[in-house]
Amino acid sequence: MKITKLTTYRIPPRWMLLKIETDEGVTGWGEPVIEGKARTVEAAVHEYAPYLVGQDPSRINDLWQMMYRAGFYRGGAILMSAIAGIDQALWDIKGKVLGVPVYQLLGGLVRDKMKTYSWVGGDRPADVIEGMRRLREAGFDTFKMNGTEELGIIDSARKVDQAVQRVAEIRSAFGDAVEFGLDFHGRVAAPMAKVLLRELEPFRPLFVEEPVLAEQYEVYRALADHTAIPLAAGERMYSRFEFKHVFQQGGLSIVQPDLSHAGGITECLKIAAMAEAYDIALAPHCPLGPVALASCLQVDFVSHNAVLQEQSMGIHYNQGGEVLDYVKNKEDFKLTNGYIQPLPKPGLGVEIDEERVIEASRNAPDWRNPVWRHEDGSIAEW
């Protein structure tokens, strides 16, 4: 079998799908994308295409190493996302050829169902109580929300109080019937992270995500020494070579590699295994589309340390397209009390509605990250 063609489709709300075709008629789907840089990743995918066409798609390990190493320059959000989507599509092909779900090829299930959580409250967190109330009716008891709006390197007691108040209201409304993670989204710098973690600790959030930016990873250890709240990060780390620094240094309780950003299934399995050796949990990042989610689930279902799966149904970013819009086998993605079952179909387990994808790709808008500024006009982390 040989790879014959790579086709990319940018689709709303901010995703990209990749179709890899073979000379034997089996096709695989991947989701190579960086939110806000879909065209850049698309160009990278097409730069890899000449290296892939004519190759045997079953040699995923070799093709991965070729993409990673043969280009000399490597790593980073764009290249590792391009590799990620290609890798996913190759696993999809392999599973379809052999007639089994990918998790069977990876040694089989370690659990019967996987816990997911739902986003609540939007970019600038608001109406969290009402949102949780609605989502609880849909069966969710675990949530994630942004912890703060823009925050200065040193900021006011008023901003701290707002963040703490929001969390206090959740506990007073629902007691311990809900769990929630707080995403600092890299908006918080080290000095305020210390303040916020101390103030938030009495409300026992499940975790705090990106308490500071990944490029300040050396701070994680110091923060962890000072709080009992589990710290999570990893959506902006792109390979095991980056994750090794946080494993070596300590500080994180949960790693969150993104299956569409960190080299795909092949690489994230290795990151998951490294994390297990350090007693660190896995919670793959996934505010993306259906192929990314299906890929995350393949890793979750074979990783003992996988604890939570993010998914973007109803997330605030999804304007003009929802996860299941492009999926034919919607019933396989049904959530029961926040849990999802192993996807039963061969390959990644997602049947893409190609006609719908092609149609949607015709006028796909370019999603762009918002630009936030502090009150003094300087750029704020979003």
Residues annotated as catalytic (active site), given as ranges = 185, 285
Residues between 184 and 223 that touch Mg ion (CB under 5 A): 209
Minimum distance from residue 257 beta carbon to Mg ion (Å): 12
For the bound state, the minimum distance from the C-beta of residue 287 to Mg ion, rounded and expressed in Å, comes to 8
Nearer to Mg ion, 87 or 210 (CB): 210
Judged by DSSP in three states, 146 sits in strand
Residue with smaller CB distance to Mg ion, 251 or 349: 251
Compute the distance between CA of residue 196 and CA of residue 191 in angstroms, rounded to an integer: 9
**How many Å apart are CA 61 and CA 224, to the nearest integer?**
36
* Joined tokens for residue 272: 């998951």
CB of 62 to Mg ion, least distance (A): 33
Where do the H-state alpha helices sit in the chain?
38-52, 60-69, 76-98, 102-105, 128-137, 157-174, 190-200, 218-226, 240-249, 264-277, 290-300, 354-362
Of 89 and 268, which has the nearer Cβ to Mg ion? 268
* Least spacing, CB of residue 192 vs Mg ion, in Å: 17
Candidate segments 81-89, 117-125, 175-183, 324-332, binder of Mg ion by CB under 5 A:
175-183
Task: Residue 314: count other Cβ atoms within 10 Å of its Cβ.
Answer: 16
User: Does 42 show up as a binding residue in the annotation?
Assistant: no
Is 209 known to sit in a ligand binding site? yes
* Among candidate residues 328, 320, 348, 375, the one with its CA nearest the CA of residue 12: 320
Q: How many CB atoms lie within 10 A of CB 243?
A: 27
When the beta carbons of 183 and 267 are compared against Mg ion, the nearer one is 183
For residue 292, count CB atoms less than 10 angstroms from its CB and return exposed for 0-12, middle for 13-18, buried for 19 or more.
Answer: buried
- Asked whether 263 and 90 are in contact (CB, 8 A), the reply is no
Half-sphere exposure of 187 (CA within 13 A, CB side): 24
CB of 235 vs Mg ion, minimal distance in Å? 5
Q: For residue 181, what is the enclosing H or E element? A: strand 179-183
- Asked if 35 touches Mg ion (CB under 5 A), the answer is no
Task: Find the Cα–Cα–Cα–Cα dihedral 307, 312, 313, 316, rounded to 10°.
Answer: 130
Residue showing the smallest CB distance to Mg ion in the complex: 183
Residue with tokens 């994180």, as numbered in its chain: 252
- Single residue of 31, 155, 179, 183 touching Mg ion by CB under 5 A: 183
Query: Token match 């946080």: residue?
Result: 246
On the CB side of 64, CA atoms within 13 Å amount to 22
Q: Which is nearer to Mg ion, 205 or 342 (CB)?
A: 205
Among residues 90, 26, 76, which one has the least CA distance to residue 265? 90
Is 24 annotated to bind a ligand? Reply is no
Residues 6+ apart with CB under 8 A from 313: 118, 322, 323, 324, 335
Q: How far is the CB of 105 from Mg ion (least distance, A)?
A: 30
Number of residues that bind Mg ion (CB under 5 A): 2
Nearer to Mg ion, 209 or 300 (CB): 209
3-state SS assignment for residue 161:
helix
Distance in Å, CB of 210 to Mg ion, minimum = 5
Binding site for Mg ion (CB under 5 A): 183, 209
Q: Which amino acids are annotated as binding site, given as ranges? A: 183, 209, 235
Binding residues for Mg(2+), as ranges, are: 183, 209, 235
